Chain A
Amino acid sequence: MNEIGLKELLYKMADDLLILGHRNSEWTGMGPLLEEDIAFSSMAQDKVGQSLALYTILHQLGEQDPDTVAFTRNAGQFHNCILVELPNQEYDFSLIRHFLFDMADALRWEMLTQSSYEPLSLLAKKVRGELRYHTLHATTWMKQLGSATETSIARLQQSLTTVTPFALAIFEESPYEKEIIESGVFEGEKVLMEKWKLKIADVISQTQLMLPDWKTITPMLGGRTGKHSEHLQPMLEEMSEVFRIDPTAEW
């Protein structure tokens, strides 16, 4: 098995989950309804927890420990897609991002239950229930707000249009795509993207929202190779503000 390729896959998944979990946790105590505040926080915790599980696998493969990896790298060393690092904005943006990302994430984990790399297939089977909740939550909100009032439909549509180019870049291919597929670790980003397009089209068709024509969209690539928006570095600085006071200290 190509270890560099495997690590690349683990890093991008872990980084996506950590950064999005962090972003979503910013809503804690500020959500639109107490009950939703709680639900959104739980999913953020699940994401950070899943990222920790992936960094732990990486650590077993010889990478540094999870805290060091998560709290001391600079933006250029992160492999997450740009989608997850964008600031939260209003709830329509956060919901659309949650929907588009989590539908892809759930499919990715589902595919990984068949991975030839056992630590990953075991983890994928374990987190299945968490992903079921995330997609149940996302599709319930999408279906409801996406066919409610003029305001809610317009807001979601606006966010959907803004977010799709970033969402397409979830599937930015790795330089090791071929090896990863051939070794049976993962079926690859192309297969995932096609499955995702069908899944989200199915949900969107049950709303009054319109998906853009995929052919007209240029994916906002770069995140997977460390080229990020201006938002990631300040976010990381905030995240590691205490940790960096003394990285050798135990907190």
Chain B
Amino acid sequence: MYGGGNTFEGVKTDSVAKEDLVKLAEFEARIARGEKIEPADWMPELYRKQLIRMIEQHGHSEIIGALPEGTWITRAPGFKRKMALMAKVQDEVGHAQLLYSAAETLGKSREQMIDDLITGKSKYSNIFNYPTFTWADCCFISWLVDAGAIVNQLANAKGSYGPYCRALERICAEESFHLKYGHHCVIYLAAGTTKQRQMFQEALNRWWPPMMHFFGPSDKISTHTEVLMRWKVKMGTNDEMRNQFLDMYVPKIRELGFTIPDPNLKKNTTTNKWEYTEPDWEEFKRVINGGGPCNKERLEVRRIAEERGKWVREALKSSTTAYVTPLA
């Protein structure tokens, strides 16, 4: 589950000028023809760097995203929910596995990626730095955070890098289960008792602001790098993704009789764009830089998990193993 556009920083494009112009032209022609780039192809340094960053962040978001929902596995009400949630959180771990593998084909080792996650050097989706207070929070994530992720992932699946696209195809197929499951959970809360409805309304109130942050800073304040769009690394702007999500899900939330906690949220029928209260980007920045309610816990849990598993991995490490980059 990943919402893309995670930072404000612009991208330094200086390195592009130093590339071999003939190779660069071939590379761009291949993308323009709609052909995918494969690991063995020549690629500009900036392309490789940005893809590693993006795929790695996506992978981190999956493994960290397994935590706020994972906590409800042991408490899910009834067999149907229990088994579904076990399978869903497992899928998130599986997505991390797929994404790390795709990033590896670009030359960064899984060891380095995990280290960079735990030390805080690489980022992950900000939304997972918030706690899940009740079962309804967990349902919010399963339905709407996954819905947001799908908007982003479907766009990225049309990108130019073969291994990332293949991983995303598999991921999107699994996410369709997550989305249906999440919606199913919320329908049951909506049609349930007063207490159940109230639980979801409260979750919606808590999660709406981070949900608006999910797609990244507004286009007005974030930098766009035209070259990354041309190379099909970035497939849409943050505001486009956010708008698409609102288009698809605001009616579905309202249909269930819940109130989205933003009095200014409405669709402008002339521009066909959603208008809303500007999300608090200072809060977003603060949370990205470690100041959210759960940043510390999330990284600490990952650190402990890695440390506890160390003896297992050390025991099985063979002296004959040699690392080679995975193929595809």
A and B touch in the complex (CB under 8 A): yes
* A interface, CB within 8 angstroms of B: 22, 25-26, 28-35, 37-38, 41-42, 44-45, 48-49, 52, 66-67, 70-71, 90-91, 144-145, 148-149, 151-152, 155, 238-243, 245-246, 249-251
| Among A31, A41, A52, residue most surrounded by chain B Cβ atoms (within 10 Å) | A41
Whether B93 pairs with A38 at a CB distance below 8 angstroms is yes
Q: Which residues in B have some Cβ–Cβ distance to A below 8 Å?
A: 63, 66-67, 70, 72-79, 81-83, 86-87, 89-90, 92-94, 96-97, 100, 135, 185, 188-189, 191-193, 195-196, 301, 304-305, 308-316
Contacts of A32 in B (CB 8 A): 305, 308-310, 312-313
- Smallest Cβ-Cβ distance to A153: which chain B residue: B315
Residues A30 and B311 in contact, CB atoms below 8 Å apart: no
Which of A38, A91, A245 lies in contact with B195, CB distance below 8 A?
Answer: A245
A28 CA to B305 CA, complexed, in Å: 11
Please list 28 pairs of residues, one from A and one from B, whose beta carbons are closer than 8 Å in the complex, sorted by A's number: A28-B90, A29-B92, A30-B301, A30-B308, A31-B93, A32-B308, A34-B63, A38-B97, A41-B86, A48-B82, A48-B83, A145-B312, A145-B315, A149-B315, A151-B311, A151-B315, A152-B311, A152-B315, A155-B311, A238-B75, A242-B76, A242-B135, A249-B192, A249-B196, A250-B188, A250-B192, A251-B185, A251-B189
B312 & A28 in contact (Cβ 8 Å cutoff): no
| Contact A148 B90, CB 8 Å, known A48-B82, A242-B77, A245-B195 | no
Q: Which residue of A lies closest to B306 (CB)?
A: A32
Do residues A241 and B308 form an inter-chain contact, with CB atoms below 8 A?
no
B100 near A246: Cβ-Cβ < 8 Å: no
- Across the interface, name the chain A residue whose C-beta is closest to B114: A34
Q: How far is the CB of B93 from chain A (nearest CB, A)?
A: 5
- Do A67 and B79 have beta carbons less than 8 Å apart? yes
Q: A71 — which chain B residues lie within 8 A by C-beta?
A: 77-78
Total inter-chain residue pairs, C-beta < 8 Å: 128
CB distance from B185 to the nearest CB of A (A): 8
A32 to B188, CA, bound (A): 36
- The answer to whether A148 and B315 touch (CB under 8 A), given A31-B309, A38-B97, is yes
* Cα distance A242–B189 in the bound complex, in angstroms: 12
Taking a contact as CB atoms under 8 Å apart, the answer to whether B195 and A246 are in contact is yes
Output the least CB separation between B191 and chain A (Å).
8
**Neighbour of B78 across the interface among A22, A25, A149, A251, CB < 8 A:** A251
Contact of A91 with B192 in the complex, beta carbons under 8 Å? no
Chain A residues whose CB sits within 8 angstroms of the CB of B63 once the complex forms:
29, 34
Q: A249-B196, A251-B188 are in contact. Are A28 and B315 (CB under 8 A)?
A: no
Given A38-B93, A41-B90, residue A49 in contact with residue B77 (CB < 8 A): no
Query: How far is the CB of A61 from the nearest CB of chain B, in Å?
Result: 18
Asked whether, in the complex, the Cβ of A246 is within 8 Å of the Cβ of B316, the reply is no
Chain A residues within 8 Å of B78, by CB: 67, 71, 243, 251
Given the contacts A34-B100, A41-B93, A242-B75, A28 and B66 also touching, CB distance less than 8 Å = yes
A152 vs B313: C-alpha distance in the bound complex, in angstroms?
10
- Taking CB atoms, residues of chain B closer than 8 Å to A48 are 79, 82-83, 86
Q: Smallest CB–CB gap between B115 and chain A, Å? A: 15
Residues of B within 8 A of A67 (CB): 78-79
Please pick, from A29, A35, A245, the residue contacting B70 in the complex, using a CB distance under 8 A: A29
